[in-house]
């Protein structure tokens, strides 16, 4: 039961690691019998687990305080070494796929493990190592830039996350000022943001060409581990969102405008759901974590055990502070077999979402903590986000302990926001598709195209003359576009699945939860298109899946107590 603060970080001797790993791959390749093959495989597994643990410890501590010079330097080292280690991993995969013992791997761990191995090779060749190093450095540059934000507002200094409560103020002028301060900081750095992204696009396009593709898109899909759906599936799915969700979202935005008493909803109004104020959690980190402990104790024996570990081993760093990287994430420490949650609590309902969303990720990781090979639990992002987004809805019955009299508002806002998110998530994907199909486009052309895409998916947006946003700059705040290309659609796919679990749980909570546990344990063992129906869900790619779901959600929102949603 090692606490996080006591977990020792030690930079690996990378030259020795590379040599040892290479020798182990040689042993696998030359193995004359199954025992020798698997012995070498498990030795590599132990080495890789330790590398993953050290890399993760370094990253967590760097993001907790990006000003820490030691971990800043370690982050730079890992950026440099990551692709070189990836080269060894790629050779291991090649040996496995060519091995006479490949069939035994499929028998022991399922055929999907080999499918994942095959797709991973589509995203890597030794020739791109230097490109990957350069890409890593640029993504780190973006992270450092956004983490460095020090924005003066009403006599105090805030980072980008710290301004969130002001953007949700019931006073419209305060919302507008906070909005202008937040986007103004980015607007002042538009050239720097453009330059970083321009370099990333060119590097990624070069990687795509070196790997034998017309552009980067097939590489991005391979990086994401997608074995059973492609760019055409994404296009069909995005069309469903345009047809079935955009009209409903526009209806919800019009209702929101009436609710908060504005004639024309501006972009700085969209963050305020209720004139009486957005639902706010009743307490700070200590209070929220205490209630979360009660919630997970009552939800199930599995969640109780999991959350006790998170609390007792201090595996969460939750509240925003100077120098902390923006955003939130869950990650896993293989040698300790525990997850870790990072976030930026700022006094909004998003604080509770972390304790459900990121805890959903962490819970699933905890359930699979004992897998024999890390690759077994290597699942695609749309699968990963089902774990988190579904947990948000399974915990609805305990929201009163977080929100008190604001609970009904939270219920409405949570479902409404989930629906309104789908068009935005799809717009990010459509934008990235255009970017990598037009790698020579100028930064100005990219921003112009983004604004055109916004008008399709988010036609309500009115930036009130803010030049940077009117010109298509909003995407530059979305870190996934810089760091994790083509990840964002996965959130929407998972959201559709999570909303199905929500509707299901309203009718038969026990059956829905049992399905969820099955999905968590099966994740990584079968691909997404099989996992959804195997768990009793409709695949979002199936025509009509979304259209079937939205009426149920409208019915739920209409059934809430309107007197409390003001």
> Given this model, what pLDDT does residue 150 score?
93
Burial class (CB in 10 A: 0-12, 13-18, 19+), 156: exposed
Instruction: Answer for the pair 206, 294: CB distance below 8 angstroms, yes or no.
Output: no
C-alpha–C-alpha distance, residues 346 and 343, integer Å: 9
Q: Which residue has the tokens 């083509």?
A: 486
> Given this model, what pLDDT does residue 566 score?
77
Interval 398-412: pLDDT, tens: 999 999 999 999 999
Answering whether pTM is above 0.75, one says yes
> Given this model, what pLDDT does residue 444 score?
97
Residue 367 maps to a domain: no
Residue 37 maps to a domain: yes
> Given this model, what pLDDT does residue 278 score?
86
Residue 10 maps to a domain: yes
> Given this model, what pLDDT does residue 349 score?
87
Residue 46 maps to a domain: yes
C-alpha–C-alpha distance, residues 393 and 374, integer Å: 28
Q: Which residue has the tokens 């604004």?
A: 451
| First-to-last C-alpha distance (Å) of the chain | 47
Residue 18 maps to a domain: yes
**Residue numbers of the domain that contains 48:** 4-109
Residues of the chain below pLDDT 70: none
- Count how many domains the chain has: 1
What are the Cα distances from residue 523, in Å, to 256, 371, 375? 37, 12, 11
Residue 81 maps to a domain: yes
Residue 226 maps to a domain: no
3-state helix, strand and coil shares in percent for the chain, rounded to the nearest 5? 70, 5, 25
Residue 80 maps to a domain: yes
> Given this model, what pLDDT does residue 347 score?
87
Q: What is the DSSP letter of 265?
A: -
What are the Cα distances from residue 515, in Å, to 433, 509, 518, 536? 34, 10, 5, 7
> Given this model, what pLDDT does residue 481 score?
98
> Given this model, what pLDDT does residue 161 score?
83
C-alpha–C-alpha distance, residues 250 and 419, integer Å: 10
Interval 181-235: pLDDT, tens: 999 999 999 999 999 999 999 999 999 999 999 999 999 999 999 999 999 999 9
> Given this model, what pLDDT does residue 377 score?
92
What are the Cα distances from residue 244, in Å, to 255, 441, 545? 18, 31, 10
3-class SS letters over 420-439: HHHHHHHHHHHHHHHHHHCC
């Amino acid at each position: 039961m090692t606490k996080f603060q006591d977990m020792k970080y030690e930079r690996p001797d990378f030259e020795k690691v590379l040599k040892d790993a290479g020798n182990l791959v040689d042993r696998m390749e030359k193995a004359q019998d199954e025992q020798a093959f698997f012995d070498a495989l498990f030795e590599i597994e132990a080495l890789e687990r330790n590398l993953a643990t050290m890399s993760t410890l370094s990253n967590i501590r760097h993001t907790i305080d990006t000003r820490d010079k030691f971990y800043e330097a370690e982050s730079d080292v890992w950026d440099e070494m990551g692709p070189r280690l990836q080269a060894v991993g790629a050779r291991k995969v090649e040996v496995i796929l060519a091995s006479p013992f490949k069939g035994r791997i499929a028998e022991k761990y399922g055929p999907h493990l080999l499918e994942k191995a095959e797709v991973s090779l589509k995203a890597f060749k030794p020739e791109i190592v230097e490109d990957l190093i350069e890409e890593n450095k640029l993504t780190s540059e973006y992270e450092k830039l956004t983490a460095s934000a020090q924005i003066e507002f009403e006599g105090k200094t805030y980072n980008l996350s710290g301004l969130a409560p002001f953007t949700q103020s019931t006073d419209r002028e305060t919302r507008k000022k906070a909005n202008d301060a937040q986007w103004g900081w980015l607007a002042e750095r538009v050239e720097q943001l453009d330059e970083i992204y321009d370099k990333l696009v060119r590097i990624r396009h070069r990687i795509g060409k070196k790997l034998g593709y017309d552009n980067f898109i097939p590489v991005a899909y391979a990086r994401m581990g997608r074995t059973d759906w492609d760019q055409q599936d994404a296009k069909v799915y995005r069309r469903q969102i345009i047809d079935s969700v955009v009209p409903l979202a526009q209806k919800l935005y019009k209702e929101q405008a009436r609710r908060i008493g504005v004639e024309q909803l501006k972009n700085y109004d969209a963050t305020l759901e209720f004139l009486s104020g957005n639902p706010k959690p009743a307490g700070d980190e200590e209070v929220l974590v205490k209630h979360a402990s009660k919630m997970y104790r009552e939800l199930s024996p599995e969640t109780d055990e999991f959350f006790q570990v998170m609390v007792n081993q201090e595996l969460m760093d939750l509240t925003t502070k100077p120098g902390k990287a923006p955003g939130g994430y869950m990650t896993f420490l293989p040698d300790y077999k525990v997850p870790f949650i990072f976030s930026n609590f700022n006094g909004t309902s998003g604080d509770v979402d972390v304790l459900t969303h990121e805890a959903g990720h962490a819970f699933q990781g905890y359930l699979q903590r004992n897998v024999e090979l890390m690759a077994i639990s290597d699942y695609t992002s749309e699968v990963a986000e089902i774990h988190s987004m579904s947990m948000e809805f399974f915990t609805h019955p305990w929201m009163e302990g977080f929100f008190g009299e604001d609970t009904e508002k939270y219920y409405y806002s949570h479902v409404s926001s989930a629906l309104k998110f789908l068009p935005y998530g799809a717009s990010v994907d459509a934008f990235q598709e255009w970017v990598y199909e037009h790698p020579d486009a100028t930064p100005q052309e990219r921003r112009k195209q983004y604004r055109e895409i916004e008008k399709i998916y988010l036609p309500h947006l009115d930036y009130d003359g803010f030049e940077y946003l009117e010109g298509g700059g909003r995407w530059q705040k979305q870190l996934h576009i810089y760091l994790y290309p083509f990840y964002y659609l996965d959130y929407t796919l998972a959201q559709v699945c999570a909303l199905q679990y929500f509707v299901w749980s309203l009718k038969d909570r026990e059956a829905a939860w049992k399905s969820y546990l099955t999905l968590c344990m099966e994740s990584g063992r079968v691909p997404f298109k099989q996992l959804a129906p195997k768990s009793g869900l409709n695949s979002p790619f199936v025509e009509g899946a979304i259209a079937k779901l939205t009426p149920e959600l409208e019915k739920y929102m209409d059934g809430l107590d309107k007197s409390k949603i003001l």
